Amino acid sequence: MGQDLVRDISSLDLTDRVTIDQPIDRQSCVDLKKTTAARICVGKAGTRLKTETYLRFRADHAVAMDAVWSEVDEKVVDQLGFLKVQSLCKNKDEYITRPDLGRRFSDETLKTISENCRHDIDVQIIAGDGLSSPAITSNLPDIYPMLMDGLKEKGYTVGDPIFVKFARVATMDRISETLNAKITMILIGERPGLATGESLSAYMAYESSTKKPESQRTVVSNIHKNGLPPVEAGAQIISIIEAMMEAKTSGIDLKL
């Protein structure tokens, strides 16, 4: 009996796990499950979910909650040489309830950024915890070196990397204005779902500014090991940056 116990139900690979009782075509169910992370072919116990399905749902929901409330392991950003700063949010509670504060910095922080980072560069890379700290911890060590190598190979000047604690996407605008970067990019944790709590997004804008609408941002999302792999995402981002440089625009005005 002990061998049948599952210590961590979230570790189960559900790709080919069909829990419908006596399915008519099991292989079709398996093939379908391989195309999506949705909870399909799970069967029922009467009118309710089966115990295993329900427990997995609760476990995945817990992962999503942890992703929001946890914090980035600062050793990761330290090892990659990121300058660490913080938005106006004082803690995670304020970050969740006051999105406006997550978009802004104190004058002292902007001064720190200005004094410690290069100005007038082609590309400025920022990392921010956003709504998923594990997204940074899991993906930044793979995607950042790829981006640096690719951008330098293309001949672009790259600014000093900045990590923003309690970051919203719009923090990129104020950093761009401070450093006068042609293209500013923020790698930020996405709002977690039940499929993964480690998904990263890369928002990019040409001459990013607080005066420009959000439609001027271009985004590559769903970056994680079971989505768009970090290294592949890095190559895609570099191609987009090339297009931005050539067109001198971004967002809805950029034709890819």
Q: Where are the alpha helices (DSSP H) in 11-88?
A: 26-33, 51-69, 74-79
**Do 183 and 244 meet the contact criterion of CB atoms below 8 Å apart?**
yes
The candidate with the shortest Cα–Cα distance to 237, out of 137, 158, 173, is 158
The candidate with the shortest Cα–Cα distance to 139, out of 12, 246, 15, 231, is 231
The candidate with the shortest Cα–Cα distance to 56, out of 4, 17, 2, is 17
Q: Is 18 annotated as ligand-binding?
A: no
> What's the Cα-to-Cα distance from 109 to each of 38, 115, 219, rounded to whole Å?
42, 10, 26
Q: Is 169 annotated as ligand-binding?
A: yes
How crowded is residue 14: how many other Cβ atoms within 10 Å of its Cβ? 17
What residue has token string 């009782």?
21
Binding residues: 169, 190
Query: Binding site for adenosylcob(III)alamin: which residues?
Result: 169, 190
